[in-house]
Structure formats: C-alpha cells, structure tokens
Amino acid sequence: VPALSVEGSNTSVWGSGEWWMFLSAQSMAVGTIMVRWVSKYSDPIMATGWHMVLGGIPLLVISVLNHDPALNGHIQELTWSDIVALGYTSIFGSAVSYGVYFYNATRGSLTTLSSLTFLTPMFASIFGFLYLGETFAPEQIGGALLTLVAIYMVNYKSIIGEK
C-alpha cells in the first residue's frame, strides 16, 4: 500500500497511480450506466467492442507521443509465448469479460453487478499469493474482509428478497 510521494519537481498528477485508478473507476461507472441507454439502439456486445476501440485510440496516441518502446521496433523481440499470452489476455481478459459484464448490466441490477467489481483486486491478490508467492499484510486482509462485508451489505436486500 504505497503512499503518494512528492519528490522535487515530479509532482504531476498524471504520474500518480491513484489518479489513474480514480479515472478508470469513473470511466467504468459511466460505461455501466450508459450501457442501458446504448443497448436500446445497439447490441451490447457491439457497443462493448466500440467502447474498447474508442478507448484504445487515446492510449495509442499517448504511446506514440511518448515514444513508447513497444512502437519503436521492440515488437520483434516478442516470442510466440508472449504473443499467445497477449492474445489470450486481449480476447478473454478484455473482450469476452467486458462483453459478458455489459450484457448483464442491461438485464439485472446495476448496484448488485457493480458491487461485484470490488472483487477484482481480491482475485488478483489471491492469484498473486498462489502463483507468485506474494504475501498479505494485515492491512490487506482487513481491507479484503471490509470489502466482503460491504458487498454483502449492498446485496443484502436482494438476498433477503429472494428468500
């Protein structure tokens, strides 16, 4: 849980991971709410595809403007294993998962669906523990428990309503 450090003149908000995470959460919230409106006029899967293409264009422009090494000839250094991993991540980690998410967002409770996105960092931490030998600090375990309690509380009304 690193703290935001301010060193000399390097105090740009664009260099802060916290700022980028805040922007990504806002983007996801707007997309989740807008998908119901967009789905009235288009297929949710198609809308997800265009969402990803249009979201990738600014990232490509930023990479070109910053002379990203991946765009300057280092692509030839990728192995077949790297290409397969990138393809798998692109298809299943992005396209399929976002398609399923937005498809479900058009059908069910947005509150319930959105609350489940808080499990993403927990799964990342668990897989990091299982496969990469990472450890948990007491603050992380407390945060995970707090997250689980919060998800339960958000979904409590719908859980009771089903019984």
Render pLDDT for 84-143 as a digit per residue (tens, 0 to 9).
Answer: 888 888 888 777 877 777 777 777 777 777 777 788 888 888 888 898 888 888 888 998
pLDDT in tens, 36-55: 788 788 887 787 778 778 88
Judge if 82 and 125 occupy the same domain: no
DSSP conformational letter for 3: P
pTM for the whole structure? 0.50
133 and 60 belong to one structural domain? no
Number of other CB atoms surrounding residue 36 within 10 Å: 14
State which residues form the domain around 95: 15-108
Same domain for 82 and 123, yes or no, is no
d(CA 157, CA 162): 9
> Is there a single domain that holds both residue 70 and residue 103?
yes
Residues 36 and 96 in one domain: yes
Compute the radius of gyration of the chain from its Cα atoms: 19
Domain identity same for 101 and 130: no
- Enumerate the H helices of the chain as residue ranges: 17-39, 44-65, 80-88, 97-105, 110-116, 120-132, 138-162
- What is the pLDDT at residue 1? 42
- Is residue 124 located within the same domain as residue 98? no
Q: How many domains does the chain divide into?
A: 2
